[in-house]
């Protein structure tokens, strides 16, 4: 319960692929994704009572073909999920 954030900054290698599954029960979640990381089309969010702010797919268009890929699945019971691209 409460508010928490996940920052995915670090040394992402070109061509790499990472699977991440985040689950939370209550409160707000912010996921910070580096601008140079592609969020895969297979990514999804399931929020029972709350909403999604930001986009799992927006920001991919200007990335090179070999950009690192994040397969993100976010699950929540109550609260909001915010997807933010880091500058």
Question: Does residue 9 carry a pLDDT above 70?
Answer: yes
Residues in the chain: 87
> 47 with 20: CB under 8 angstroms?
no
Residue 22 CB contacts under 8 Å (≥ 6 apart), including other chains: 6, 29, 31, 72, 73, 74, 75
| Domain-wise residue ranges, the chain | 4-86
Beta strands in 1-87 (DSSP E): 4-7, 17-26, 29-34, 38-39, 44-53, 69-86
- Residues 33-63 have pLDDT tens digits of 999 999 998 888 777 777 776 666 666 778 8
Res 7: pLDDT: 94
pLDDT, tens only, 13-23: 999 999 999 98
The token pair at 19 is 């699977």
């Amino acid at each position: 319960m409460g508010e928490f954030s996940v920052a995915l900054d670090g040394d992402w290698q070109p061509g790499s692929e990472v699977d991440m599954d985040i689950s939370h029960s209550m409160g707000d979640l912010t996921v910070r994704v580096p601008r140079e990381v592609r969020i895969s089309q297979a990514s999804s969010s399931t929020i029972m009572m709350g909403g999604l702010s930001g986009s799992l797919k927006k920001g991919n268009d200007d990335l090179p073909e070999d950009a690192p890929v994040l397969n993100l699945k976010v699950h929540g019971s109550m609260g909001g999920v915010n997807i933010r691209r880091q500058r």
